[in-house]
Amino acid sequence: MSNIVKSSNLGYPRLGEHREWKKLLEAYWRGEIDDQKFHETAKSLRLNNLKKQRAFGLDIIPVADNSDYDHVLDTIAAFNLIPTRFGSYDRPLTLSEYYAVARGNKENVAADMTKWFNINYHYTVPEFDNTKPRLLDNRWLRYWQEAKEELNINGKPVILGPVTLIKLGKLNGEYVSSPEDINRLLDQILPLYGQVFQELDEAGVQWVQLDEPSLVKIDDDSAISPYQRVTAYLHEIAPKLNVELQTYFDSIDTYQAVVELPVQAIGLDFVHGNGENLKSIQQYGFPEDKILAAGIVDGHNIWTANLQEKLDLARTLQSLAPNLWLQPSNSLLHVPITKKYETAASAALFGGLAFADEKLQELVTLTNALNGNQDIDVFEENKRALKALNDSEARNNVNVQVAIKNLSKQRFERQSKYAIRSKKQDDILNLPLLPTTTIGSFPQTAVVRAKRAAWRKKEISDLEYQDFVKAETKRWIELQEKIGLDVLVHGEFERTDMVEYFGQKLAGFFATQNGWVQSYGSRGVRPPVIYGDVDYLEPITVAESTFAQAQTDKPVKGMITAPLTIVNWSFVRDDVPRATVQNQIALALRQEVINLERAGIKIIQVDEPALREGLPLKKRHWQDYLNEAVYSFKITTTGVQDETQIHTHMCYSDFEDIIDTISNLDADVISIETSRSHGEIIAAFENAKYDKQIGLGVYDIHSPRIPTTIEIEDNIRRGLKVIDAKQFWVNPDCGLKTRTEEQTVDALRHLKAARDVVLAELR
């Protein structure tokens, strides 16, 4: 093997510089384009992404990292692992069949969806019940051939490894974990991977990237056997094909066993994992006959790398593993595409940003430096840019830093225990049994988005825009009253995103102009950038909440986003501990909660949907994370009187492991998702003595399908098997921003009707 260092990428963002991919999907779903036009446009976008990577000077370019929705769903569809309710196929799925699995249809609920490891990206959960695996489509060969024929790029196909695929899926409603189930499913699936690898080998593919990120979650060598089985089989069946076994998001505890697997390159993350991968190489060495594919540039944050520090690290790695590739720590799917459109950023901040394109340029710069072609001017400019950001006023707010130092002198608890304050709240709110509510947002229609765009372009005045938001709020208050809901929301028409909106109102945040990343399907979000010390400037939600409350005699919830979710769904500065940033946000939001109470808002929802998803991948780090989450939540919520009811919301979570933490948050009411997971979450409460109130989401808002009244009744009854009726709230899974008005109103009417049926049964 040559000792020339090469630059490599693991995956490129899908959305497009101007969200062309998102617009393509949604145009197809609306019936505005046919299959042929869809495929033609998707191909153009794919090839453009490959051209850009080649132009940067990247040595090894990934292919088949593109998707029509989600890379796990692509793998499911390729291997006929489609949930049996959608049928079984002997040919590749059509687009409409593919999207039926992702989004549901009139007959069937969509496949389950949950977070990808601890990243704010949703993947489609495989369901292995009664599936009959067969290879329907070697998409990896198709896209390799396309890159070769169209651009003469000999790309590196990216395929999700079979063990990780299995562990991400469910069997009989439970995530697959037992060695017996893993091996039984491998018996069915591994031959299909073998067929894919054989065809790649025969076509002349040189490298394939086999993603097995689940390796970072095992801590015992005994759990390595399925990975040994997979890699040995694939090496035997496709001996000329070079395999890069790729891990990311954390370190490898079973390092010695992993580096002995029969593959030609090992991809390790040297950004995350507390430096443990580097320590393992220093202690145990690295095989001379393998390539170390070193992830040294952060693949899921947006800060300019310290090039000198990264070069020093790369040289250390080169001394330990002479056969070296430099690459991002993980796929660049999780960062925006380019910073060139961020013209509103200050010079100091702009210099500190690096999105996907800039990260690839950093990798090429570092690779060239290792190969003897160091550009001194680039390194000096990098040094100046980092200093300018760290010396900026935004990162040196003395008042905020003093407040953080004084936290240890304060106590953050509600005035009374839950049993006492809940009685006071009952007397004031006077709600019926099984109260109905929604989670917060209502449809962000084309009209709403157009008005916001016009306001941003200064085509309408601030007053005109405010009047429009008020009119929409009033209209939806009236709609909720007509439906008969018990606790109302203002609809959040002024907000683009539950995190971005708060980032625009607090000091220390920057709202990007074009920093879009994929959350799920066509859903793109612009995570705010937390670049400085966070401070409260002025009331954020009080005006909208009090206006809505003035339109009705029913209680209207104040709606804010909790500190941990803001941190988990933002790009967070990396020069101070995340817990420090989290507590800065909590101190700011504490003032907002107090101001809402002073304005007469009796129910305040502090959403924490990202608590479970952000758990560290290794359980040994869980407790510190959970303690920090509870602490920041209580900083936010404990400044109110007993009579004020605090709600929170969590979604796409497995709660069995964190029931105690949920209780320790001391929220009066929590609402959680259950419908997409078919009620498995309810099992978490069967043995737990949860003493507060809870809303188990009774229908899935991510699907356009309108649930029937009977379905919602069944979900309510299922929840009442484990939750006392006096504790039970009836609500959808999540906010309704992505749904149409018709879908929303019809579904909520069914929800109210279902509640009334069940309520009559209880009387």
Catalytic residues: 702
In the chain, the N- to C-terminal Cα span, in Å, equals 77
Enumerate the known binding-site residues.
Answer: 19-22, 115, 439-441, 492, 569, 607, 613, 649, 651, 673, 734
Measured CA to CA, the distance from residue 677 to residue 718 in angstroms comes to 13
Q: Which two tokens stand for residue 728?
A: 């039970």
Query: Tokens 């291997």 identify what position?
Result: 79
Sheet holding 669-672, edge to edge: 557-561, 603-607, 645-650, 669-672, 693-696, 728-729
> Could you tell me the CA-to-CA distances from 250 to 215, 216, 287, 408, 471 in Å, in that order?
9, 6, 21, 31, 48
Cβ contacts of 6 within 8 Å, gap of 6 or more: 59, 60, 324, 325, 326, 367
Task: Look at residue 444 and give its three-state secondary structure.
Answer: coil
Q: Under DSSP, is residue 575 helix (H, G, I), strand (E, B) or coil?
A: coil
Residue numbers in the known binding site for Zn(2+) are 649, 651, 673, 734
Give one DSSP letter per residue of 189-251, joined into a string.
Answer: HHHHHHHHHHHHHHHT--EEEEE-GGGGG--SGGGGHHHHHHHHHHHHHSTTSEEEEE--SS-
List all residues 6 or more positions away from 282 whose beta carbon is below 8 Å from its beta carbon.
Answer: 320
Provide the 10 A C-beta neighbour count for residue 470. Answer: 18
Which residues does the annotation place in the binding site for 5-methyltetrahydropteroyltri-L-glutamate?
19-22, 115, 569, 613
The packing angle between helices 741-762 and 709-720, to 10°, is: 50
- Map tokens 């799925």 to a residue: 93
CA distance 605 to 593: 9
What whole-number distance in Å separates Cα of residue 697 and Cα of residue 715? 8
